[in-house]
Amino acid sequence: MVTNQLSIVGKLTKNAEFKSGTTENGLWQNCKFNLVVETELKRKMEVYTEKVYIDCTIWGEEAQKYLSLGAGSVLSIKGRFKMESWKDKDGNTKSRPTIVPALINIVKEVAISDTEIMNATNRKPETAPDDDLPF
């Protein structure tokens, strides 16, 4: 049997995006990010870098662990490929390969601010009432 497994190291091209909502089956949440993976290649004595951009999606409670990942973070991922498909506005079927991570190791973290996280998750910051201030 052939298995669908991969191991990859890449750098986030932009801040991770978190979404959540509810369905008749309950709460859903996901964290999506895009990695750039660079490979140094040689052709006819010339060295060049090939860049591949790939989307990753983490589902469930695990998604919350990666809210603070910012552009430039380097991740080592073990997971599997999955083909995502959807219909565009004209009704045409589109598809692309994505990675579904099973294990993520943060090699270098570039954290985003709490404000950016709250904006990304559409949550308002919790603030104490003025009368609870100690001065």
Residues 54-79: b if buried by 16+ CB within 10 A, e if exposed: bebbbeeeebeebbbbbeebebebeb
pLDDT at 125: 38
Cα angle vertex 36, ends 2, 9, to 5°? 55
Q: What is the domain partition of the chain in residue ranges? A: 6-123
- CB burial of residue 109 (10 Å; 0-12, 13-18, 19+): middle
pLDDT at 54: 93
Classify domain 6-123 at the CATH topology level.
Answer: OB fold (Dihydrolipoamide Acetyltransferase, E2P) (2.40.50)
**C-beta separation of 73 from 110 below 8 A:** yes
Cα angle vertex 81, ends 78, 84, to 5°? 135
Residue 40 CA, distance from chain mean position: 24
CA distance 75 to 1: 29
* Per-residue model confidence as pLDDT tens for the chain (135 residues): 788 999 999 999 999 898 888 888 888 898 999 999 999 998 888 999 999 999 999 988 888 888 888 889 999 999 999 998 989 999 999 998 999 999 999 999 887 765 555 555 554 433 433 444 343
